[in-house]
Amino acid sequence: MEPIAPRVEMAGAPRTAAPIAAPIATAEPRRDAASRAPADADALLDAPIDTPIDAPIDAPIDAPIDTILAIETPEHVVFEHRLAGPARRLLAYVVDLFVCYGALAVLAGLVLLAAFAVGTQLGGGEAFAKLGVGLLLVALFAVQWVYFVIFETLRGRTPGKLVAGLRVVTITGRPIGLAEAALRNLLRAADALPTGYLLGFVAMALSPRFQRLGDLVAGTVVIVVERPEVPRPLLLWPPPAPWELDALPARVALDAEERAALELFFRRRGTLGEGRERELAEMIVGPIAARYGYRLPDSVRTLALLYDRALHTGRADALPAAPPAPPASPASPARGAAT
């Protein structure tokens, strides 16, 4: 029986879009959020069930400075949200300002037109204008204090945040309600001091979760809404030739960093030049190939075969009979060989 690997290791796998330049595993193991979770079960039971596990108390000093909020669900799995930084939030805010004051300007124009029309047709335009100004003042109030609360309560995002791809959630990853939306937006008055949201910006810089004062009080964070990609397994292409399989060891074991690095490398292959591709492969192929005494003239192909074997060793389950879709990448299940 093979030992069960701790599930947390994969949590540190690079995201497909992460701009890691070289696919070499770093010497220092990447710490991931889950490894900081309280180890003993009693502690877990005592803790509020969805306390974010990156609470500062548990964080080791050399934890990576990261913009990721890890949340452990009551089901005890960990998922992550990407936190939104000041630049993106400023963009959202500027869009909101345009929406609000644009609407206000349109309303003002309508009031003016209506007052003018009433004044020339019926007389009493002045009285009408006063009514209109009263209305405008209420609208001005709504723009300053109500707009954000309503949109964030009902949708979790204002139109500006929609444009910028942001959403407000609680620090436990749940949608916010009226109380949270009201608190975080009331506290805007404090964040905006002394001018231009300077205080809010400072609070965000000091907070590990990019929270301004309003977010701190309401217990909310602003996250980047991510679109899931369609998962596409890597395929070994062309299929392995018999002579390639001759010397390939039956079992290849790669550790989490090696696998993550190789996966990233193969997924990014299409964007690399041929020279750069070979250069990167040369950097990592040496130690791995030496470990298994397996080396083809083409180092990229060597890595592809080893990666494929590592991925599918011992996996011989019932697979769809039809061969998978056309090649996009070089590693493929090579199922015949794996059995």
Query: Which positions from 123 through 142 interact with another protein, judged by CB under 8 A?
Result: 127-128, 130-131, 133-138, 140-141
Q: Closest CB to another protein among 113 and 154?
A: 154
If one asks whether residue 259 binds another protein (CB under 8 A), the answer comes out as: yes
Which residues does residue 169 pair with via DSSP β-bridges, in sequence order?
Answer: 175, 221
CB 309 within 8 A of CB 286: no
21, 42, 62, 251: which one contacts another protein (CB under 8 A)?
251
CB 60 within 8 A of CB 112: no
DSSP state, residue 292 = H
Q: Closest CB to another protein among 43 and 282?
A: 43
Least distance to another protein from the beta carbon of 297, Å? Answer: 27
Cα three-residue angle 233-32-330, rounded to 5 degrees: 20
- Applying CB under 8 A, which part among 67-75, 87-95, 101-109, 296-304 lies near another protein? 67-75
CB 147 within 8 A of CB 186: no
CB 236 within 8 A of CB 333: yes
84, 166, 168, 187: which one contacts another protein (CB under 8 A)?
187
Distance between CA atoms of residues 60 and 241, nearest Å: 48
If one asks whether residue 42 binds another protein (CB under 8 A), the answer comes out as: no
- Applying CB under 8 A, which part among 176-184, 242-250, 278-286, 295-303 lies near another protein? 176-184
If one asks whether residue 205 binds another protein (CB under 8 A), the answer comes out as: no
Least distance to another protein from the beta carbon of 241, Å? Answer: 22
91, 217, 224, 289: which one contacts another protein (CB under 8 A)?
217
28, 40, 75, 274: which one contacts another protein (CB under 8 A)?
75
**Residue-wise DSSP of 12-23:** GPPPTT---S--
Per-residue binder mask for another protein (CB under 8 A), 78-117, x = binder: -xxx------------------------------------
CB 323 within 8 A of CB 304: no
44, 172, 277, 289: which one contacts another protein (CB under 8 A)?
172
Q: Where are the alpha helices (DSSP H) in 165-273?
A: 178-186, 188-191, 198-206, 213-218, 242-246, 256-268
Q: Who contacts 148 (Cβ-Cβ below 8 Å, separation ≥6)?
A: 96, 158, 181, 185, 188
If one asks whether residue 19 binds another protein (CB under 8 A), the answer comes out as: no
* Strands annotated E in the chain: 68-72, 78-83, 166-170, 220-224
How many residues form the binding site for another protein (CB under 8 A)?
93
Per-residue binder mask for another protein (CB under 8 A), 231-250, x = binder: xxxx----------------
If one asks whether residue 224 binds another protein (CB under 8 A), the answer comes out as: no
Q: Closest CB to another protein among 15 and 282?
A: 15
According to CB under 8 A, which residues from 300 to 329 bind another protein? 311-320, 324
If one asks whether residue 54 binds another protein (CB under 8 A), the answer comes out as: no
Tokens encoding 228: 């899931």
Q: How far is CA 215 from CA 31, 93, 121, 196, 212, in A?
A: 27, 15, 52, 17, 5
Q: Closest CB to another protein among 153 and 158?
A: 153
24, 47, 50, 272: which one contacts another protein (CB under 8 A)?
50
DSSP state, residue 144 = I
According to CB under 8 A, which residues from 266 to 305 bind another protein? 267
